[in-house]
Amino acid sequence: MGRFPARTRVKAPIGRWAVVGHDLVAIVLAWLGAYWLRFDMGYVPQSFWHRGLTLLPVVLVVQGLVFWSMGLYRGLWRFASLPDLWRILKAIIVGTAASALVLFLGERLVLVPRSAFVLDAMLLTMLLGGPRFLYRLFKDRGLYQTSGKKALIVGAGRAGEMLVRDLLRDATIGFRPVAFVDDNPRRIGQEIHGVPVVADCGQLLQVATGLEVDIVFIAVTEAKADRMRRLVELCERSGRPFRILPGLQSLVDGQVTIRELREVRIEDLLGREPVCLHQEEIAQGVGGKVVLVSGAGGSIGSELCRQIAQLGPRRLILFERSEFNLYNIELELRRDHPHLGLLPVLGDVRDTVLVDRVLHRERPEMIFHAAAYKHVPMLENQGRAAVLNNVFGTETLAEAADRHRCGVFLLISTDKAVNPSNVMGATKRAAEILCQQISARSRTRFLTVRFGNVLGSAGSVIPLFKTQIASGGPVTVTHRDITRYFMTIPEACGLILQSSVMGKGGEIFVLDMGDPVRISYLAEQLILLSGKQPGRDIEIIYTGLRPGEKLYEELFYADEALLETVHPKIRVTPGTYADPARFTEGLNRLRTLCAEDDEQGVAEVLRDMIGLAQPPPVEPARIVTAPESEL
């Protein structure tokens, strides 16, 4: 973390002592004014007036001390608000009661009208609260925008109100809110900070056209995927640029401002709701332990390292074969967590000597095995490499974890391991079975977490689409009807950590991926979000399914008993066990075939061990010539 800049002294608009002086004068005026009002704003009998003046120093000291102790001088008049008014009222009530009590105990309230205390409190409220809010109105008189680009706000809820308030008060923004649209009929016709709610969201195009707005701000922080897709489609039809607030966390942090607005991302349209994790349970399970992450520089591995680092492990071992990726994640973690014990290890999980040395010396209590080859078409013709890395790499690390009595070994698997139609899925299924068989004879808790695609991971479809769009197209989609499950990388890694503290050993945890998404829909939306039209500005070419690719993925086998867990986003199954003897024989045959460099033999043995499904035939390429909305 960088050094903080030198602290500068900021002069308040009205100094604290000036405010204290103002309030002391107000106490005097209120006390004397209370006597004057008590006697009908006329002549105050001499004896009462003299008594009031005699007791004034006592009232001044008592109420002054109460006002100071109750924090009336922490806030600035420039930002006086309802909480400040409430603080003033509480201080006046306490101060008046304390004055009455002191005068009763000391002077028995001789020649002190009882109503004077009520009148004193009323006058103090006006004298203390009035100038503060008048001063704020005076300072704010030039802040409210009367010029600038016209902005239409979608959503008249709390986030919309906070956003409009920020737009109105910041003179440097250059946007002027002119109207709200909101789907709640009770809000239509109302005004928020003088900005009217004119129609429902379905009238967005008409409102934007009629008011000639320049930009649309989406201030809907709790929208489901279908509603967000509808709002984005309406914004796209308006032809205006649009921005979105990032989500609920901004409301929690009180940071709903114009500076939080950003462009709509594909994640917003997929509607992945924030995942609530059992943080205390995860912190107890991971904090203070020695943790090893294999594939630490990859998309999943690096995010796991980031989240683990926040949990305070005793030591974090970064096991990675890519020198560049290892360098990057180590540099990032040392920058963000300078006191974290880090051990970068450059090596391959298939290196038995290195794996054994690291586990013997460091004694990791938890291992997250994220290292794997994952590119489906590439591995179809390179089964040997896939088996060596995904199967025997897992075996090397898992057997070492068993020998050195590691507490938890968690394998990160994939939906492609279910009824696999490709080499990559078959190798991951073999790794699942391998971990379950070792778990049956080990004190180590072997767990597996199975989930689908993650947004933005290296080699995934969305970065590819973005690159194709940036180069002017075309965007290539394998099949019009192909679907995939998606979740964000942070969400997946959070649920992986949650699973690591739940399992007893041998289970396969299946993450809730939501509904599958059409890849053609992703392509269309990414084109639209780039400001272009599919079929007109950017063509979409349907190339046909690639070798080993399925139209849709599955998260569990039909005969797997899927059970609920304590976390709504995680389900668990004991899995379907393979014949141990047949599986072991298959592993030995694979070892021999890999040594002989027999690619065809490797594919045949995998098919026999796992039961590879036959993928559908590859289709010829087709081109989209006109946009087709999936909404």
- DSSP letters along 396-411, please? HHHHHHHHTT-SEEEE
Distances (CA, A) of 430 to 388, 577, 586, 613: 12, 11, 10, 15
- pLDDT grade for 608, boundaries at 50, 70 and 90: confident
501: in domain = yes
How many domains are there within the chain?
3
619 lies in a domain? no
Of the residues 79, 105, 140, which one is the last residue of a structural domain?
A: 140
Identify whether residues 479 and 555 lie together within a single domain.
Answer: yes
- Which residue of the set 289, 374, 416, 550 is catalytic? 416
- Element holding 429 (H helix, E strand): helix 423-439
Please indicate, yes or no, whether residues 233 and 300 belong to a single structural domain of this protein: no
* 133 and 157 housed in the same domain: no
In a domain, residue 10? The reply is no
CB of 488 closer than 8 Å to CB of 455: yes
- 483-484 and 517-518 beta bridge pairing: antiparallel
Q: 557 or 354, which is more confident? A: 354
What the block records as the tokens of 329 is: 């994640």
Separation between Cα atoms, residue 130 and residue 132, nearest integer Å: 5
| pLDDT of 387 strictly over 90 | yes
In whole angstroms, give the CA distance from residue 444 to residue 504.
9
Which candidate, 33, 57, 141, 160, places its Cα nearest to that of 106? 57
Q: 202 and 332 share a domain?
A: no
Tell me which DSSP letter residue 216 carries: E
From the number of C-beta atoms within 10 Å of its C-beta (0-12, 13-18, 19+), residue 416 rates as: buried
Are the beta carbons of 491 and 275 closer than 8 angstroms?
Answer: yes
Asked whether the beta carbons of 516 and 384 are under 8 A apart, the reply is: no
362, 345 contact by CB (below 8 A): no
> Letter for the amino acid at 43?
Y
**∠ CA 220-221-224 to the nearest 5 degrees?**
85
Active-site residue, 416 included: yes
Alpha-carbon distance of 257 to 250, in angstroms, equals: 9
| Residues 339 and 204 reside in one and the same domain | no
Helices (H) and strands (E) in the chain, counts: 22, 22
Q: How confident is the model at residue 286 (pLDDT cuts 50, 70, 90)?
A: very high
State the residue range of the domain holding 135.
16-140
SS3 508: strand
Residue with tokens 């002190």: 112
Q: Are 431 and 413 in contact (CB under 8 A)?
A: yes
Indicate the residue among 140, 169, 192 that finishes a domain. 140
Tell me the one-letter amino acid at 140: D
Same domain membership, residue 242 and residue 297: no
453: in domain: yes
What value does the mean pLDDT of the chain take? Answer: 80
Sheet holding 175-181, edge to edge: 191-192, 195-199, 175-181, 149-154, 215-218, 242-244
Flag whether pLDDT at 314 surpasses 90. Answer: yes
> How many other CB atoms sit within 10 Å of the CB of residue 290?
19
Question: Do 126 and 199 share a domain, yes or no?
Answer: no
Residue 619 has pLDDT above 50, yes or no: no
CA-closest candidate to residue 78, choices 158, 173, 146, 143? 143
87 within some domain: yes
Q: In b/e form, how buried is each residue of 314-337, taking b as 16+ CB within 10 angstroms?
A: ebbbbbbbeeebbeebbeebeeeb
pLDDT > 90? residue 595:
yes
The per-residue pLDDT for 266 is 64
pLDDT at residue 417, rounded to an integer: 87
User: Which two tokens mark 143?
Assistant: 């802040």
The pair phi, psi for residue 318, each rounded to 5°, is -100, 105
Map tokens 């699942």 to a residue: 432
Token output for 24:
């002391």
**Whole-angstrom distance, CA of residue 471 vs CA of residue 468:** 5
- Give the E-state strand segments of 235-300 in sequence order: 242-244, 290-294
CA–CA gap between residue 391 and residue 194 (Å, rounded) = 65
Angle at 152 between CA 147 and CA 157, to 5 degrees: 120
Q: What is the pLDDT, as a whole number, of residue 289? A: 95
Same domain, 206 and 289: no
Residues 49 and 72 in one domain: yes
Tokens at residue 37, please? 């009002």
Cβ contacts of 255 within 8 Å, gap of 6 or more: none
pLDDT at position 77 over 70: no
Confidence of residue 255 (pLDDT cuts 50, 70, 90): very low
- Tell me the percentage of the chain whose pLDDT exceeds 70: 81
Tokens of 6: 């030198």
Q: Which one has a higher pLDDT value, 624 or 204?
A: 204
Residues 121 and 92 sit within 8 Å (Cβ to Cβ): yes
Over residues 312-322, mean pLDDT: 96
Does residue 275 fall inside a structural domain?
A: no
- Give residues with Cβ within 8 angstroms of 339, minimum separation 6: none
582 and 547 in one domain? Answer: yes
Give a yes or no: residue 606 inside a domain.
yes
Residue 5 domain-assigned (yes or no): no
Look at 166-180, 298-312, 398-412 and tell me which has the smallest mean pLDDT.
166-180
Assess whether pLDDT exceeds 50 at residue 329.
yes
* Region for 406 from its dihedrals, namely left if φ exceeds 0, alpha if ψ lies in -120 to 50, beta otherwise: beta
Phi first, then psi: give them for residue 442, nearest 5 degrees. -120, 155
3-state DSSP helix/strand/coil percent for the chain, to nearest 5?
50, 15, 35
At 464-484, the pLDDT tens digits run 888 888 888 888 888 888 888
What confidence score (pLDDT) does residue 331 get?
A: 96
Q: Name which of 101, 102, 95, 96 is nearest 72 in CA terms.
A: 95
Residue where one domain finishes, among candidates 140, 162, 196 = 140
Give me 153's structure tokens.
């706000």
598 and 581 housed in the same domain: yes
The CATH number linked to 410 is: 3.40.50.720
- Regarding whether 237 and 131 lie in a shared domain, the answer is no
Judge contact between 396 and 435, C-beta under 8 A: no
